[in-house]
Amino acid sequence: MMVAKISIKFIAILVLFMTSVSAFAHEGEHDAQHHEEGNKVDTPEEIKEYIAHHLKDSHDFHLFTDNGTGVSYGFPLPVIVWSSEGLKTFMSSEFHHDDNGQVIVEKDGVKLTKIHSKIYELESGADAVAFDDHHHAENAHKVLDLSITKSVFGMLIAGLLMLLGFGALARGYKKGPIPTGVGRMLEPLVLYVRDEIARPNIGDKKYMKFMPFLLTVFFFIWILNLLGLTPLGFNVTGQIAVTACLAIFTMVIYLTNGSKDFWAHTLWMPGVPYILRPILAVIELIGFVIIKPFSLLVRLFANMTAGHFVVMSLIALVITMKEAFGPVASTGVSLLLSLFITVIEILVAFLQAFIFTMLSSLFIGMAVEEHDHH
């Protein structure tokens, strides 16, 4: 199937582009300055702060901490930064607290520090970070951070799964009209995107041109949403940088493929007084360049972030309700409610992928539509 083959190229391009862009916008992990090792998270304020940190990106995977020994379990990820002395690479496990309680790493004479999970380079001759009254670093500046963060790692996993899946589907069509194995499982979803999303919104004549992009976006978002339900703590589609990249991809595609009629109706709308046409042109351009992409990115970002926040808040009921109802009752209520919401989240994972793909195809269809002239 030609669509499956072409989709592989779109997957590679999408993952590589979003991996680089996401590196500029990740916000941080479970900072030690907020949660000291070994301390229990047992107050509403600490729970809220813990959930907020869990939803953000991070330079490593923090699975859990043994409250008895204070030992944290997880695994580090590669840190890749461009400093004043060039490229510096090391594992995030090298970030550790010095005698002043600050996180400092020295690489070839360059001292790097991590403040609120952002990586900074200390000025020459400085041994520690100096803060102003607002807790802003005075003697350090940001570096170009291209690290493999938790979100980037999740996107690479999603991209790999898609390459394997679509590759199996393409090989299956070489053997016969009906694929086998993994390809047979993917085929109904591919046909669903084609027959229920692309063809009705774009039209029979032009939908095939955009099928690779729509398939890539649908499966990319769906897999990342499902990864977000695993105990590893992925929240890739809850990072606004990721959803913004997806929305920008959609915007570029429908703007660059817009028909002559689309641009004529956008820039010089027929059938209205000439004095109003420039005003309507500005409004239409704002809609296509800002409002539509913004609605795409905010809808996905807000829904996935809210879902993760609700699930973790319900799990935290074990702690907050323990004194009032006892450990057994609070655990039971928390388990039932979180299980119910998690099942709903599985549906939402598919639904958000469907909505994003549906709206993308709708915007593309509006741009490529040929109008009848009487």
On whether the CB atoms of residues 356 and 217 are closer than 8 A, the answer is yes
Tell me, yes or no, whether 49 lies in a domain: yes
Give yes or no: residues 90 and 210 share one domain. no
Give yes or no: residues 284 and 338 share one domain. yes
Give yes or no: residues 176 and 131 share one domain. no
pLDDT of residue 305: 87
Of residues 213 and 47, more confidently modeled:
213
Give yes or no: residues 246 and 226 share one domain. yes
pTM (2 d.p.): 0.81
Tell me, yes or no, whether 60 lies in a domain: yes
pLDDT of residue 28: 37
**Is residue 11 pLDDT above 60, yes or no?**
no
Tell me, yes or no, whether 190 lies in a domain: yes
CA–CA separation, 74 and 93 (whole Å): 10
Give yes or no: residues 69 and 8 share one domain. no
**Residue 126 phi, psi (nearest 5):** -85, 140
CA–CA separation, 117 and 24 (whole Å): 13
Instruction: Convert the pLDDT of each residue in 317-331 to its tens digit.
Output: 777 777 666 776 777
pLDDT of residue 59: 83
Structural domain total, the chain = 2
Tell me, yes or no, whether 374 lies in a domain: no
**Which of these ranges, 71-85, 141-155, 327-341, 342-356, has the smallest mean pLDDT?**
327-341
DSSP 181-194: THHHHHHHHHHHII
Give yes or no: residues 97 and 186 share one domain. no
Give yes or no: residues 211 and 333 share one domain. yes
Instruction: Convert the pLDDT of each residue in 157-168 to its tens digit.
Output: 999 999 999 998
Give yes or no: residues 126 and 263 share one domain. no
Here the tokens at position 147 are: 């690290």
Give yes or no: residues 191 and 234 share one domain. yes
**Which of these ranges, 198-212, 249-263, 360-374, has the smallest mean pLDDT?**
360-374
Query: For residue 36, what are the contacts with CB-CB under 8 A and spacing of at least 6?
Result: none
Of the residues 116, 148, 180, the one at which a domain ends: 148
Here the tokens at position 264 are: 């004529």
| Bridge partners for 104 per DSSP | 113
Give yes or no: residues 183 and 310 share one domain. yes
Tell me, yes or no, whether 127 lies in a domain: yes
Here the tokens at position 141 are: 């500046």
Tell me, yes or no, whether 373 lies in a domain: no
Tell me, yes or no, whether 217 lies in a domain: yes
Give yes or no: residues 247 and 297 share one domain. yes
| Bridge partners for 87 per DSSP | 82
**Residue 131 phi, psi (nearest 5):** -110, 150
Place of tokens 């920008």: 248
Of residues 233 and 260, more confidently modeled:
260
Of the residues 148, 166, 197, the one at which a domain ends: 148
DSSP conformation class of 238: G
- Structural domain containing residue 204: 2-20+151-368
pLDDT of residue 38: 45
Which whole number is the average pLDDT over 48-77?
A: 74
On whether the CB atoms of residues 40 and 67 are closer than 8 A, the answer is yes
* Strand, helix or coil for residue 149: coil
